[in-house]
A and B are shown apart, each in its own frame.
Chain A
Amino acid sequence: MSSKTQILDFIRGRYPQAEIDESQDIFALGFVNSLFAMELVMFVEKTFGVTIPNEELRIDNFRTADAMSALVSRLSSDLAVA
């Protein structure tokens, strides 16, 4: 299962009433609060074995499943290089 699919499954699991695709801005839907943001970051770090540094905790990295998947790829490649 791709990282994008896993991220979408997590968001849909928390907000099953929302219709979300991989390019949809979840912030525009209006249900993202600091609690969900924390859960989302914990989910990404746990599921993909990465640590998101402070400088990557930017809204644009979390707007869409596409953006989060790209973040995971970037951090995973950093991990591989290290």
Chain B
Amino acid sequence: MDWVFLSELAINGALTGLLYSLFAIGLVLIYKASSVPNLAQGGLTMVGAYVVLALSHDAGLPLWVAIPLGAVIMFALGFGIERVALRRLAGRPVVMILMLTLGLDIFLRGTTLAIWGGTSRSMELGVSYEPLFVGDIFVSRIHLVGAAVTIAFFVAFMLFFRTRTGVKLRAIADDYMASWSVGISVERGVGLSWALASVVALGAGVIWGEIQGVDQSLSLLLLKGLTVAVLGGLDSILGAVIAGLILGIVENVGADFLDPLVGGGSRELIVAAVLILTVMIRPHGLFGRHDIERV
């Protein structure tokens, strides 16, 4: 047993897992406010990456301008989605909202394909590809950067949910009717959660765009992101982070053991197994909220 190799697998798995978490945090934000898993989060992530590309490569802005500006654009886009599409659906069955997010995903994919085409483009963040050795362990620098971004978002949201606006958002997640009754603008709260999720999507899009190139396949991150979100409990940001770590490690280490046996491709199987088993054994995930029942 090669312990160095195993810990290298685990550490890099954990870093990749945190990148899944980054994606999943966006899902959690919207789930908390709208009670639907946002199937358009993959589309939003891709749009986020393309927006930064358009600002930096096409318009020639430096990255430190392009990324904040892109975040502002995504923030507005999130609010716009609530205003144009979701508001009409308030009070309708949740499955309708779910279908709306699916339609939105298809729409976003179609739009990016029409504007920017299907060829993969590179992000060129300027993070070095030189291997970084921590002791004997090889670590990818861009994954390290991505993990740091995830942690930053995580801390920011933990603090945010303690502010007055954050408390109001949590109240909205609890009970729409009661929120309306005390004058909380549910519409604005849902819009804000979409806006924040869109900014997170931009973060995920930039990092993942750097790792695997910016093209339509970015939207497929939805599958892993959703698995992480479900494992974490769908409405818990802490859950999303921890579940990401777990899935990343299990996937990376497990694939190394299984791939020689089945001849490759076991990563997807491991993700599928985690998703299915979570739903079967622990439907509210690791940190998901039970509905409180007093006895």
- The finding on whether chains A and B are genuine partners in a shared complex, rather than unrelated, reads no
